[in-house]
Chain A
Amino acid sequence: MAYLELKHVTKRFGDLVANDDVSLTVEKGHIHALLGENGAGKSTLMNILYGLYTPTAGEIWLNGKKLDIRDPKQAIAAGIGMVHQHFMLIPALTVIENVMLGYKEISHFRLNLNQAAQRFTALAEKFNMPISPWEKVENLTIGQQQRLEILKALFRNSKLLILDEPTAVLTPQETDTLFTLLHQLTDEGLTIIFITHKLGEVMDICDQCTVLRQGRVAAANLPISEIHSHEQLAELMVGKSIDLVTHKAPAHPGDTVLEVRDLHYTDREKVSRLNGLSFQVRAGEIVGVAGVDGNGQSELVRCILGLLQPESGAVYVENADVTGKHPKEILAHGVAHIPEDRYKMAMIKEMSVNENLILMSYDKEPYATHGVLHWKEITRRNEELCKKYEVKTPSVAEQAGRLSGGNQQKFVVGRELDRAAKLIIAVYPDRGLDIGTTKYIQSRLVEERDRGAAVLLLSTELDEILELSDTIMVLYKGRIMAQIPQKEAQRETIGLLMAGVQVSGSAAVTEGGTVC
């Protein structure tokens, strides 16, 4: 008998059908992969199982009993634990406070943190995940936070653990450690649902796999033995056979466009975020920055763009010293920026597409003269831009927030690339997008490179970095661990460098095997 059974689960948000008649079964002690593109409905389905959403229709059976889960409390009581993609931790509180939040098995009124800390430490040691219960969560690394999330679930005696894209934030080696842990957990009798969009992971660790496509089941409970290739999975996921490789000709680098010299930055809490970075990006090349999130990526970008003041060091754009200059001045040197979080940094969702498209050039001719905007000219140009960059919108007067995520990112990318910039800084440019849009944006970046732009690409997806970059730079704790030409780059080596392990020159070229 199956341990967990979802029967005909449907979830509608207004007109949008996030899950349409989804059925799947999970065996006890198995690791079951839930595979699908961004927006395929994986997270929605698991949030239903965890009680965060109420299904529109369908049934959930756990261990032979029908569950009626209305909120997470009931899910937790039923032995379900979930590690969300964005960790559900409270940075300002201590580890043990995070663990105890909502856990009233010991006492309903008093917190009894000392007693809880003892139990927590014992549990952490058993699974070889030492974390101090008294540390503040904001001081933990991303990897530690993930382990804390797993411990939080184990502390509550979870028998079914849902992991939502757990490897997105890890180095390849950390991923291996996680996989070892997951096997240890299944040995203890736990059942695991593993949400991912990475094909390799499914083959590496899972026993069974269910593929979701546009809210529907494309393949249910596929035993891993029946999966023969990445392409087979990709086709199930996307619905048509797709080219997984972005085609790109060899680079012909020209003059140096961006030069960073010995950059140091220390934040308000006196934590050193950048420790003497030096590198160059030349015209006609893509330099990819690999690294686990939080190792100085966003500080580096902000220092280059003038959004943060570096402590020391210098930034040159085309030999002009722009260190500490106002962002506006730096952008005027021909710098384009596709930021990490478009909702926060690149668009105003309440404004129209038209108003959003002039965000970077509203005060330049022909958009404005003497401080007065020329809406007719602006509208005409923006309509062209939408056509050119395949932005699907009823009109440029449409509210930006009403467009789909892919179209939003397209107009952001279009706005930045249409200025024929000399330097393009792209930070996670395809985060949260489907494969089609991702490929579109990637090939646009390559086109810009071929036009002669210098591209600095930051991504947490190692595959993307390896595929697009001409040179790969590994960032760890605000330091550059290595700069490696694409031809010589090895997944393993880069993974070690991302974890701060220095690799000697010869070791970098051991083992064959292709990138990606």
Chain B
Amino acid sequence: MEDIASFLSSLIRMSTPLLIAGLGLVFSANAGIVNIGTEGFMLLGALMGCAGSYWTGSAFAGAVIAMVATMVFSAVFAFFTLNMQADQTVVGAAVNIFASGLTITLNRIVFDTTNGVPVIETFNAMPIPGLSSIPVVGVLFNQSLVCYLAFLAVPVVWYIMKKTHIGLEVRSVGENPRASDTLGINILATRWWTILLSGLLSGLAGAYMSMGQLSFFTEGMVSGKGFMALAVVVLGCYSPVGVMGASLIFGAGMALQYRLQAANTGIPYQIITMLPYVITLVAVCGFIRKSRAPAATAVAYTKE
């Protein structure tokens, strides 16, 4: 029972960053953007969250700083892919390369890592009275505020995407920008704000990784989770509910990885570490057929 509870708790914590980044990507992906720069955004978010927390003494202030920083950073991606019409994948790759250099550099400038890792404020658990004392599943209600918000955001995003003009516009821009243009939808503006939003949420996802899962930043710590967030969106068929489901599956893989490492199974830890990546590979091969990308995915829009 203890094991199950700790697995569940770990599952939620592992799923949360994928879910947060994935919900942001639901907007930009539906608008026709493939943003592999998510990896770099999360990395920057992870660092800036810690830096913010270190400067202000508050994890939430850190998260806000992370979100603002990544949103500014994602504006670069938006400018080059939308205004300069550069290839989205290429700019995404550049963002990742830049972010890896930037975070390493800033990390060494901001924190004097020669004297060990400084202690910072992290996201504290916020037990929900009553619910959190239920045996086994109570751990689900003993998470940080960010976790609760992430899961509560799922129906909100669903409502926006399906029931409002905003959602309809985002979906139509991704499906047929030219048709949307003839109806007076501003393609550039729509794609801009979806990229900024997804950048902002990637920052929060990164901050949660460094301050919710770990208690500090390490170089290259995102290690593919940004790409997993992309996979989560594809597997979740571009819908927020699907994204939640896929995040939980990937989260389960990562939780299992940590359980196996702790359980002393005799399997070398390097092999166990591969597990989430292998699960992602299997998932994209097994289930991707059912998912249909918006028709205008990764196509720059030229107003004739």
Residues of A within 8 A of B (CB): 47, 50, 52-53, 71-74, 76, 82, 84, 87-93, 97, 100-104, 107-111
Residues of B within 8 A of A (CB): 163-166, 168-169, 171-172, 175-176, 178-185, 292, 294-295, 303-304
One of B166, B168, B179 near A88 (C-beta < 8 A): B179
Q: A84-B182, A88-B179 are in contact. Are A104 and B165 (CB under 8 A)?
A: yes
Q: A52-B304, A88-B176 are in contact. Are A111 and B168 (CB under 8 A)?
A: yes
A112 and chain B: residue at smallest CB distance? B163
Question: Can you list 13 contacts pairing A with B, beta carbon distance less than 8 Å?
Answer: A72-B184, A74-B184, A82-B182, A84-B182, A88-B178, A92-B294, A93-B172, A97-B172, A100-B168, A101-B172, A102-B165, A102-B180, A102-B183
Q: Are B175 and A52 in contact (CB under 8 A)?
A: no
List chain B residues, Cβ under 8 A from A109: 164-166
Secondary structure at the A interface, as helix, strand, loop or mixed, is: loop
Given A74-B184, A88-B178, 11 more pairs with CB closer than 8 A:
A76-B183, A88-B182, A90-B171, A92-B175, A102-B180, A102-B183, A104-B165, A108-B165, A109-B166, A111-B163, A111-B168
Q: Are B172 and A72 in contact (CB under 8 A)?
A: no
List chain A residues, Cβ under 8 A from B172: 90, 93, 97, 101
- Minimum CB–CB distance from B156 to chain A (whole Å) comes to 13
Q: Are B171 and A72 in contact (CB under 8 A)?
A: no
List chain A residues, Cβ under 8 A from B169: 101-102
Q: Are B182 and A50 in contact (CB under 8 A)?
A: yes
A92 to B173, CA, bound (A): 12
Q: Are A72 and B182 in contact (CB under 8 A)?
A: yes
One of A47, A53, A73, A90 near B184 (C-beta < 8 A): A73
List chain B residues, Cβ under 8 A from A73: 184
B182 and chain A: residue at smallest CB distance? A88
List chain A residues, Cβ under 8 A from B179: 87-90, 101
A92 to B170, CA, bound (A): 13
List chain A residues, Cβ under 8 A from B292: 92
- Minimum CB–CB distance from B212 to chain A (whole Å) comes to 33
List chain A residues, Cβ under 8 A from B181: 52, 72
One of A52, A103, A107 near B182 (C-beta < 8 A): A52
A97 to B185, CA, bound (A): 14
A108 to B184, CA, bound (A): 14
One of A50, A74, A84, A101 near B185 (C-beta < 8 A): A101
Q: Are B164 and A111 in contact (CB under 8 A)?
A: yes
- Minimum CB–CB distance from B203 to chain A (whole Å) comes to 26
B186 and chain A: residue at smallest CB distance? A71
A87 to B292, CA, bound (A): 22
The 3 A-B residue pairs whose C-beta atoms are closest, nearest first, are A73-B184, A102-B183, A88-B179
A138 to B295, CA, bound (A): 13
A82 and chain B: residue at smallest CB distance? B182
A175 to B153, CA, bound (A): 50
B176 and chain A: residue at smallest CB distance? A90
List chain B residues, Cβ under 8 A from A82: 182
List chain B residues, Cβ under 8 A from A53: 304
A180 to B1, CA, bound (A): 75
Q: Are B183 and A101 in contact (CB under 8 A)?
A: yes
List chain A residues, Cβ under 8 A from B182: 50, 52, 72, 82, 84, 88
B177 and chain A: residue at smallest CB distance? A90
A110 to B162, CA, bound (A): 10
- Minimum CB–CB distance from A148 to chain B (whole Å) comes to 12
A71 to B292, CA, bound (A): 31
